Structure 1
């Protein structure tokens, strides 16, 4: 059971559905793309600084 808000009003089922849809299809996809893109950028920059992955140079 949810506790009543300060103004005594509870959010309606319609407003909760709209909030869910906005989060599920509007906000979270952008956050997911940003996280994956940010991780890719970090990997790319680290390879520029430290070189590509592979065996050490002396083991050829």
Structure 2
């Protein structure tokens, strides 16, 4: 009986942890990576000029 309650509680904690990661944390990380890449490209073009023939 006790192991069933403990197992159910653990499954709820795992589901809550997954939801927090999937809904809150990973979207911020994805936006940060894309924004960081855009900033890197912007700084590169600032120093080297736009691509293509002039």
TM-score computed with the length of structure 2 as normaliser: 0.80
> Residue 3 of structure 1 corresponds to which residue in structure 2?
none
Figure out how many residues of one structure are paired with residues of the other and give that number: 48
Largest Rg, 1 or 2 = 1
TM-score computed with the length of structure 1 as normaliser: 0.73
Unaligned runs of 5+ in 2: 1-5
Bigger helix share:
2
Following TM superposition, the consecutive aligned residue runs of length 4 or more in structure 1 with deviations greater than 4 angstroms are none
Unaligned runs of 5+ in 1: 1-8
